[in-house]
Structure 1
Amino acid sequence: MTRTLGLLLFPDFQLLDAAGPISAFELAGRQVPGAYALTLMARAPGAVASSSGVALQAAPLSAEPFDTLLVAGGLGTRAAARCAETLAWLGAAAGRARRVASVCSGSYLLAAAGLLDDRRATTHWQRSADFARRFPAVRVEADRIYVRDGKVWTSAGITAGIDLALALIGEDLGEEVARRTAQQLVVYHRRPGGQSQFSALLELGGAGGRFAGLLDWMRARLDEPLGVERLAARAAMSPRNFARAFAAETGMTPAKAVQRLRLETARDRVETGAEPIDQVAAMSGFGDPERMRRAFVQAFGQPPQALRRAARALALPENAEASGRAAGTPPVRAPR
């Protein structure tokens, strides 16, 4: 059975938003010939230029039903989301499709077409606060790699489109095909740390952001109490003004940021270090290991011991060699 895939493009789309899933579906199709048939489409057909200037050839918008309808993201989403013709077609095409998915800021188009109302969804972490303001009817899960709500899937920034495609392939063709596809791409079949956009936290506030210095100060003191009053005093602000300004700048409350920074630090120590788990819990500010275990399960879907075992298994020479043989290239560690 051939599953038809329709991928919507627009001027200034992000090239990897399209190329990542395209490559994943292509490689899955090599294992299961005829599994997928892909069509690139745009309101203005022909050569559609990405934000990098590289163009892909697209067919006109089609009235034919697709098994899976995908929407790329990129700088051009804002303009595309204001195009009545594109949104009308998207709404109708989504109604005919078995499932609908977006990569990165492609979620803006789904939301503008009303396809995410009263659904859970995600987008690139940098855009999540803006997305939530623009589309209050959507329940935004800002730190997820991808979210499935019924027939609608949304994914996070750029390379998360590959994670999304692997999940779709796993649903269609089985997890073994998805795993082998990931090996060919030299990426994780399932990223360590579950489905969290965790590396984003390293960039909270940006290098020149208002709270960049405070965030560095917080990272150096995760084993100390970091309540909003202490943080506000460090920022020379009242607690109320600080909490409001911090949330506007970073997209999360101070308490949530502290928890995420603790999780980020603890996960790195669990996966790359050799300290006992209870020592990691103390150093990262969780205090007791059971509290850290609960936080890990909630954030990553796995306890610390499971993440440590998985990281050590991936580091074994025989596993790295096997991954390299499968991919035909030297193995590399995918960015988290």
Structure 2
Amino acid sequence: MATDASRHRIVLVAFDDAQMLDVTGPMDAFAEANTACERNGRAPAYAITFAGPRVGLVPMASGLELHARVSFFDESLEPDTLVVCGGRGARMAADDAAAVAAIGRLANKAARVVSICTGAFVLAATGQLDGRRVTTHWKYCDVIARRFAGIEVDADAIFIHDGKFYTSAGVTAGIDVALALIEQDLGRPIALAVARELVVFLRRPGGQSQFSAHMAAEASAADPDRFAELTRWMAEHLDGDLSIERLASRVSMSPRNFARRFAEALGTPPGKFVQALRIDAARRLLTDGDVPLTTVARRCGFNSLETMRLAFQRHLKVAPQDFRARFRSRGVVELATRG
């Protein structure tokens, strides 16, 4: 069996008042990957270390505490993958010169550097994200963009890979990026086994977006419950007739009144909402399977492959086949070598 010294070394860093799931979500994913390796007759792949601002208990924002056996100021730490977890403490640590210097040293040593949620603030403070495209929790995207002018912020992405840096969105997105790294390191079967064990998507529906069409509409809706039953039905019948006339009939309204009331309640016209639902569904099929493009278009309610292509170009600035190539599995890749 592989020893800790021969495994890929993952160091998860957290500050006081950390978001607990930023730490435990990725940690459980990597630990489950070790278990999945053993079930498949392979040696555990990862040696996982939790590092805090000091040895001892690190308080989480929830009031619980995690025990750190090592401090991230310890210069003997040699991470292959560094994971900087978010929370209020991480945002505050971006103003702590000693903490920023310590994280910068660890990032320089690591072959791969990951931020979870607002952990991106600390990495940005090191200057190592300058000139790179990054993401963080949607609530703080404007804040980090104003504070660190040298970075390009994408508020929509679940996670972004730029060079050796991976930045992820809020909280549960830490599991998404951990699964992506596991798939990169150990292959899709192990990553799928981990996802099944954690009862999550290997890639969540909608591909790379932080929000599905439902979530995006509800976030800005004046009355999200008014058409809740209808929008659920729409999502289940994307390959059917979702014209304004048909939808209005289902809720016993005139087409004109329905279109006006729907837009008032959800903040978007029914036609645009239907288009967003169909794009979401197509992204999931393109990401998670080998369904032919023409079949994807048909199942999602596009009149033709060309109609789907135009919708993708208009809304995502990418063709469906290019989206599939970018976000689907790329097969087995060896563990990152130590530099």
> Is the 2:30–2:178 contact (alpha carbons within 8 Å) kept by the matching residues of 1?
yes
Shift of the 73–175 alpha-carbon distance from structure 1 to 2, 3 Å rule, reads same
Code of the aligned partner of 1:291: L
Measured in 2, the distance between the counterparts of 1:207 and 1:81 equals: 36
Measured in 1, the distance between the counterparts of 2:146 and 2:218 equals: 21
Code of the aligned partner of 2:22: D
**CA deviations over 1:76-116 (Å, ceiling 9, x no partner):** 22211111111000111111111100111111111111121
> Is the 1:196–1:300 contact (alpha carbons within 8 Å) kept by the matching residues of 2?
no
- Structure 2, unaligned stretches of length 5 or more? 1-5, 38-42, 224-261, 285-296, 325-339
**CA deviations over 1:170-222 (Å, ceiling 9, x no partner):** 111112211111111111112222111124524545869xxxx9874532x24
1:266 is displaced (CA, Å) by 3.3
Measured in 2, the distance between the counterparts of 1:72 and 1:42 equals: 10
Superposition map of 1:133-282 within 5 A: 133-199=146-212, 201-202=216-217, 204-205=219-220, 216=265, 218-219=267-268, 221-223=269-271, 264-267=276-279
Aligned length: 260
- What's the counterpart of residue 74 of structure 1? 87
Shift of the 291–35 alpha-carbon distance from structure 1 to 2, 3 Å rule, reads same
**CA deviations over 1:256-287 (Å, ceiling 9, x no partner):** xx7xx66533346778xxxx9599569xxxxx
Please say which of residues 196-205 and 54-63 is displaced more in the overlay.
Answer: 196-205
> Is the 2:12–2:84 contact (alpha carbons within 8 Å) kept by the matching residues of 1?
yes
Measured in 2, the distance between the counterparts of 1:97 and 1:139 equals: 22
Code of the aligned partner of 1:218: G
User: What SS does the corresponding residue of 1:196 show, helix, strand or coil?
Assistant: coil
Please say which of residues 93-102 and 32-41 is displaced more in the overlay.
Answer: 32-41
Measured in 1, the distance between the counterparts of 2:221 and 2:60 equals: 26
- What's the counterpart of residue 231 of structure 2? none
Code of the aligned partner of 2:201: Y
TM superposition score normalised by structure 1: 0.68
- What's the counterpart of residue 7 of structure 1? 12
- What's the counterpart of residue 57 of structure 2? 47
Shift of the 183–279 alpha-carbon distance from structure 1 to 2, 3 Å rule, reads closer
Code of the aligned partner of 2:157: R
- What's the counterpart of residue 71 of structure 2? 60
Higher normalized contact order (CA 8 Å, seq sep 6+, divided by chain length): 2
Measured in 2, the distance between the counterparts of 1:166 and 1:279 equals: 27
1:290 is displaced (CA, Å) by 4.5
- What's the counterpart of residue 292 of structure 1? 311
Measured in 1, the distance between the counterparts of 2:199 and 2:84 equals: 24
User: What SS does the corresponding residue of 1:95 show, helix, strand or coil?
Assistant: helix
Shift of the 218–19 alpha-carbon distance from structure 1 to 2, 3 Å rule, reads same
> Is the 1:10–1:43 contact (alpha carbons within 8 Å) kept by the matching residues of 2?
yes
